């Protein structure tokens, strides 16, 4: 950013400021009479963070881009692999990007192709260094070989002749000081590169003070914009660079270096604790990740471009307390931690991933502990003396249109829910075809299913099966599986559901009735489709189940 007050974050696009292309914007930063700053980024996410911080330009570091790929800064990543990363960065930010082009990835021919490809992708400039391909990072070893001056000038000319926009910036990086060739050689090379067409000169040093950089700046006398990278002489006050007439400062690698420290600390704590409790409050929320990558824009685009479809709602029954010992002393089972968020949060996350965003939760035991952002809460204050159907009746106003109903203590893979949502049936249940056996820990499946057709074992066999009965005491010969506590109702099916709840209420059975009774009664009046799955879900009833839930990815 220049000395002027930086603007706030801008939306993505090709123009960082109204009417100014990214090529022109970078040229303006490089040639500005006031000091400018470029901040390192190595992928699309870090480029977004640079923009949000208020910088006016990005330095696409070769070192950090390579390191983020797990590679050395020795041209181990091909230039096409680098170009892929750069394209993601250009898409992620509206800021101009100056690319660390190493040596140009070869001779003049590689340079001109690389420059053309950069311009076609909206990358605003490139910096090439006067060393040999493949390069070695400047801070490794001593006395690295430099390119022949005339040959390097040819690379510069080839790059300028190949740029797709007149505003494209080519910066020539002089390595003479680092290589130990002295000030005179550095000035000789800089002048040659300037005459060859370089738009700016980057003078590099690995000394701990800025003395030789400042000496070069005095001798150079602003013949062309001067760019510096004060990684080693970081203690020099920025005011010194302004007084020396430096054009641009590159903060070259600090986002990746800070990320390494944070990731190492987080990984160590989780490994040591075998828990997320110490780290969850110290890392960015998942919601923040969604914000950074632009989920809100996608949702808006979906509303604009996808055919309108009535929204799908969900009712989650979570009024019971459950018994997980001390874990449920002050909260219901649905709020027990599962890998850093409550069980209920994991369930709602799966619902939302499948597009079910209008979620109503029926709470009861320790209801004040049941809190979840963006979820409508309905209270069953008689939870201790009533059953599941009473809880569902508390939320009967939410049973409008297409609706998913789920127990609040189940977890399931998304493909199970997606299978229900894509079914054409008016009422459809998720049934585990292998769910009749006792679970680990000795608990017995409760919601055993009898259907008119068993699971054949062939997933290409899509002949429909329909519910006959759900109960805990089915004869072994009738059991076809276990209901997972997950069902979907079409708008018409939701209407049948409301009618059946009203009928049960009129018979005086509402207080103690459960969902198996409700579904069995519905199956006697209407077709209730059974969709068979094999595993990939969990009913959390015991501490053993809780441990298993933390491994259900």
pLDDT by residue (tens digit) across 238-283? 999 999 999 999 999 999 999 999 999 999 999 999 888 888 878 8
User: Which pair of tokens denotes residue 216?
Assistant: 């070069």
What pLDDT was estimated at residue 338? 81
The whole-angstrom separation of Cα 134 and Cα 158 is 19
What pLDDT was estimated at residue 272? 94
Query: Based on C-alpha coordinates, what's the Rg of the chain?
Result: 32
CATH of 22-261, one of 3.30.460.30, 2.130.10.10, 3.40.1710.10, 3.20.20.60: 3.20.20.60
The whole-angstrom separation of Cα 534 and Cα 222 is 72
Give the whole-number percent of the chain exceeding pLDDT 70: 91
User: Of 400, 370, 551, which Cα lies nearest the Cα of 489?
Assistant: 400
Q: Are 436 and 477 in contact (CB under 8 A)?
A: no
pLDDT above 70 for 515:
yes
| Total length of the chain | 553
Q: What are residue 532's DSSP bridge partners?
A: 431
User: Of 8, 163, 167, which Cα lies nearest the Cα of 96?
Assistant: 167
pLDDT (tens digit, 9 = 90+) per residue, 65-114? 999 999 988 888 888 999 999 999 999 999 999 999 999 999 999 999 99
What pLDDT was estimated at residue 437? 60
Give residues with Cβ within 8 angstroms of 116, minimum separation 6: 162, 163, 164
Q: What angle do CA 321, 322, 324 make, to 5 degrees?
A: 120
165 labelled catalytic: no
- Active-site hit among 43, 73, 432, 447: 73
pLDDT (tens digit, 9 = 90+) per residue, 341-364? 899 999 999 999 998 989 999 999
Count CA atoms closer than 13 A to 198's CA, side-chain side.
30
User: Which pair of tokens denotes residue 420?
Assistant: 């229900």
- Give the residue with greater pLDDT, 230 vs 131: 230
Split at pLDDT 50, 70, 90, the class of 137 is low
**Chain region(s) in the chain for CATH 3.90.550.10:** 309-549
Split at pLDDT 50, 70, 90, the class of 536 is confident
pLDDT above 60 for 504:
yes
**Chain region(s) in the chain for CATH 3.20.20.60:** 22-261
pLDDT (tens digit, 9 = 90+) per residue, 430-483? 999 986 665 555 556 789 999 999 988 775 566 899 999 999 889 989 999 999
- Give the residue with greater pLDDT, 117 vs 18: 117
pLDDT (tens digit, 9 = 90+) per residue, 184-222? 999 999 999 999 999 999 999 989 999 999 999 999 999
The whole-angstrom separation of Cα 542 and Cα 16 is 55
User: Which pair of tokens denotes residue 224?
Assistant: 């062309």
Per residue in 390-402, is it b (16+ CB within 10 Å) or e — as a string? bbbbbbbebbeeb
pLDDT (tens digit, 9 = 90+) per residue, 405-437? 999 999 998 999 999 999 999 999 999 998 666
Split at pLDDT 50, 70, 90, the class of 16 is very low
**493 to 16, 401, 418, 487: CA distances (angstroms):** 51, 9, 18, 11
**461 to 60, 426, 483: CA distances (angstroms):** 52, 20, 20
**534 to 263, 430, 462: CA distances (angstroms):** 36, 10, 15
What pLDDT was estimated at residue 145? 85
The H helix count followed by the E strand count for the chain is 18, 21
- Give the residue with greater pLDDT, 475 vs 137: 475
313-318 and 358-363 beta bridge pairing: parallel
Q: What are residue 171's DSSP bridge partners?
A: 127, 200
Please state which CATH class domain 309-549 belongs to: alpha beta
Backbone angles phi, psi at 497, to 5 degrees: -60, -45
């Amino acid at each position: 950013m220049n000395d002027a007050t930086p603007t706030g974050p801008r939306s993505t696009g090709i123009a960082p400021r109204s009417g100014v292309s990214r090529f022109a914007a970078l040229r303006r930063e490089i040639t500005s009479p006031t000091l400018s700053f470029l901040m390192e980024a190595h992928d699309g996410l870090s480029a977004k963070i640079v923009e949000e911080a208020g910088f006016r330009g990005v330095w696409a570091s070769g070192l950090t881009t390579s390191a983020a790929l797990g590679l050395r800064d020795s041209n181990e990543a091909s230039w096409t692999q680098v170009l892929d990363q750069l394209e993601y960065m250009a898409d992620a930010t509206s800021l101009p990007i100056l690319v660390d082009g190493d040596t140009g990835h070869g001779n003049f021919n590689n340079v001109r192709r690389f420059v053309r490809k950069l311009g076609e992708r909206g990358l605003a400039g490139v910096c090439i260094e006067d060393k040999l391909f493949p390069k070695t990072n400047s801070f490794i070893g001593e006395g690295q070989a430099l390119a022949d001056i005339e040959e390097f000038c040819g690379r510069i000319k080839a790059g300028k002749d190949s740029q797709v926009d007149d505003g494209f910036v080519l910066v020539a990086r002089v390595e003479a000081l680092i290589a130990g060739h002295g000030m005179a050689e550095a000035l000789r090379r800089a002048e040659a590169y300037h005459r060859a067409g370089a738009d700016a000169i980057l003078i590099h040093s690995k000394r701990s003070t800025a003395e030789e950089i400042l000496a070069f700046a005095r001798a150079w006398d602003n013949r062309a914009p001067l760019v510096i990278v004060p990684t080693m002489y970081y203690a020099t006050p920025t005011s010194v660079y302004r007084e020396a007439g430096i054009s641009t400062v590159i903060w070259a690698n600090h986002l990746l270096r800070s990320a390494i420290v944070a990731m190492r600390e987080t990984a160590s704590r989780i490994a040591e604790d075998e828990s997320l409790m110490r780290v969850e409050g110290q890392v960015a929320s998942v919601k923040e990740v969604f914000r950074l990558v632009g989920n809100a824009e996608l949702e808006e685009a979906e509303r604009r471009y996808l055919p309108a479809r009535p929204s799908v709602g969900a009712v989650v029954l979570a009024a019971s307390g459950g018994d997980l010992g001390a874990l449920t002393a002050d909260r219901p089972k649905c709020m027990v931690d599962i890998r850093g968020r409550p069980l209920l949060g994991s369930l709602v996350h799966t619902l939302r991933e499948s597009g079910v965003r209008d979620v109503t939760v029926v709470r009861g035991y320790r209801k004040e502990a049941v809190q979840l952002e963006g979820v409508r809460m309905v209270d069953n204050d008689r939870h201790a003396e009533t059953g599941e159907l009473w809880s569902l009746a508390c939320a009967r106003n939410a049973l409008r249109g297409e609706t998913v109903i789920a127990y609040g203590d189940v977890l399931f893979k998304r493909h199970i829910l997606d299978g229900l949502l894509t079914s054409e049936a008016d009422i459809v249940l998720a049934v585990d075809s292998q769910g009749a056996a006792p679970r680990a820990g000795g608990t017995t499946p409760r919601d055993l299913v009898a259907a008119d057709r068993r699971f054949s074992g062939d997933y290409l066999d899509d002949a429909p099966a329909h519910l006959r009965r759900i109960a805990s005491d089915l004869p072994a010969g009738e059991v076809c599986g276990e209901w997972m506590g997950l069902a979907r109702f079409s708008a018409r099916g939701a209407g049948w559901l409301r009618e059946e709840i009203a009928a049960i209420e009129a018979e005086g059975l509402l207080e103690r009735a459960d969902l198996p009774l409700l579904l069995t009664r519905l199956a006697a009046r209407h077709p209730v489709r059974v969709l068979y799955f094999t595993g990939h879900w969990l009913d959390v009833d015991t501490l053993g189940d809780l441990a298993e839930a933390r491994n259900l990815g």
